[in-house]
């Protein structure tokens, strides 16, 4: 179930690794204009690739909107990105592990040792820039914890979890993988999720329901839910207008099952909704009451069965009355 806190949407408008034939804004003016459209559509952060024109992009973006500016190209060494710090970009992306990506026109294979991550953390404090750590797999989390334990980072820790990006740091784009990695993240993390494949909406919906944030744009995946190529601000609009499903009522019934009254857009399958509810409630309960794992068959909270019925001819009032009676009876 979605937490009552603002959804942060990160927009990525000025590159397209997976489909280089897709048009995207290239010069500073175009990036500034698209940034303003993204902000108007609901984005709070702009992740940009602007090597060779960092200052021009900074000026064009800042004069058009108050969107938070996040400098990308995180595979480049610190010494080659120092301009981002001197310009006082609001945030700087940092890869928290060895980085290997494989695209049609670009291949990347760069080692980012812990010593380099420490230098980045020190530079962020020196220049007053907030670091955003890219979490590609569980090894990234280990490195992040090292920086926290050494006192090099200030909470909240801004992170982005990557799924389905091709290359040596690939991880599966599944709700199960998202929930597993999310469970391992340290406390005081603000987590954003990015997916580079057609399963994007399933995982973004799960992230939103879990109280996390999302990243969309031509860099991540340039297609909307109908498979149409879109501009980044159009993708932002789609996410902002449809943030998942709503649980109106949630009560125990007969001691061994749950009654939920849910409304959802047609794009979300019933199977996906049930998976989100079971996965997220299970994670929250195990976090708060870890001892109950020992009392469950194979340590699992839910079995795989469920029953679904649409309202149809039954009124919403009768459905609510039936579910509310369950909590009084048990």
Q: Is residue 250 part of a domain?
A: yes
Q: Which domain-ending residue is among 216, 241, 266?
A: 241
Catalytic residue among 127, 180, 306, 322: 322
The pLDDT, as a whole number, for residue 244 is 58
The pLDDT, as a whole number, for residue 2 is 41
Split into its structural domains, the chain has a count of 2
Q: Which domain-ending residue is among 186, 207, 241?
A: 241
92 and 42 inside one domain: yes
The pLDDT, as a whole number, for residue 3 is 42
The pLDDT, as a whole number, for residue 1 is 40
Instruction: Kindly list the averaged pLDDT for each block of 10 residues, start to end, along the chain of length 330.
Output: 69 93 94 96 95 95 96 91 96 94 89 95 97 96 98 98 95 92 95 95 85 95 92 91 67 71 74 75 72 71 79 68 59
The pLDDT, as a whole number, for residue 159 is 98
Q: Is residue 2 part of a domain?
A: no
307 and 197 inside one domain: no
Q: Is the dihedral of CA 252, 254, 255, 257 positive or negative?
A: negative
Please enumerate in sequence order all residues whose Cβ is within 8 A of that of 67, keeping only pairs 6 or more positions apart, or say none.
11, 35, 36, 38, 39, 43, 44, 45, 46, 61
Question: pLDDT tens digits for 19-38?
Answer: 989 999 999 999 999 999 99
270 and 209 inside one domain: no
225 and 255 inside one domain: no
Question: pLDDT tens digits for 208-234?
Answer: 878 899 999 999 999 998 899 999 999
Q: Which domain-ending residue is among 187, 213, 241?
A: 241
Which structural domain, as residue segments, surrounds residue 40? 9-241
259 and 162 inside one domain: no
60 and 103 inside one domain: yes
The position carrying tokens 């996965």 is 279
The verdict on whether 157 is a catalytic residue reads no
Q: Is residue 3 part of a domain?
A: no
20 and 133 inside one domain: yes
Q: Is residue 224 part of a domain?
A: yes
209 and 107 inside one domain: yes
CATH code of the domain in which 20 resides: 3.20.20.70
219 and 264 inside one domain: no
């Amino acid at each position: 179930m979605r937490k009552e806190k603002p959804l942060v949407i990160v927009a990525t408008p000025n590159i397209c690794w997976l489909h280089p034939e897709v048009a995207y804004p290239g010069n500073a003016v175009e990036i500034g204009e698209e940034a303003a459209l993204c902000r108007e559509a609901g984005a709070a952060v702009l992740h940009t690739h602007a090597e060779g024109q960092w200052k021009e992009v900074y000026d064009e973006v800042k004069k058009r909107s108050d969107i938070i500016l996040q400098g990308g190209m995180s595979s480049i060494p610190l010494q080659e990105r120092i301009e981002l710090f001197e310009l006082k970009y609001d945030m700087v992306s940092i890869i928290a592990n060895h980085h290997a990506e494989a695209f049609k026109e670009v291949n990347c294979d760069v080692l980012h040792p812990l010593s380099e991550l420490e230098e980045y953390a020190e530079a962020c404090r020196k220049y007053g820039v907030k670091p955003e750590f890219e979490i590609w797999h569980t090894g990234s989390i280990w490195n992040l914890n090292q920086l926290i334990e050494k006192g090099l980072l200030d909470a909240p820790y801004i992170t982005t979890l990557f799924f389905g990006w091709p290359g040596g740091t690939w991880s599966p784009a599944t709700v199960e993988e998202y929930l597993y990695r999310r469970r391992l993240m340290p406390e005081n993390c603000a987590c954003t999720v990015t997916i580079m494949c057609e399963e994007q909406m399933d995982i973004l919906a799960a992230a939103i329901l879990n109280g996390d944030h999302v990243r969309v744009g031509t860099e991540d995946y340039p297609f909307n839910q109908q498979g149409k190529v879109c501009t980044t601000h159009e993708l932002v609009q789609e996410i902002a207008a449809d943030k998942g499903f709503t649980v109106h009522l949630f009560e125990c019934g007969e001691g061994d099952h749950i009654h939920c009254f849910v409304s959802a857009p047609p794009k979300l399958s019933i199977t996906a909704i049930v998976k989100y509810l079971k996965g997220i409630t299970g994670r929250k309960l195990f976090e708060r009451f870890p001892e109950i794992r020992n009392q469950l068959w194979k340590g699992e909270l839910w079995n795989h069965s469920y029953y679904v019925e649409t309202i149809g001819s039954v009124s919403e009032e009768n459905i609510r009355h039936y579910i509310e009676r369950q909590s009084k009876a048990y």
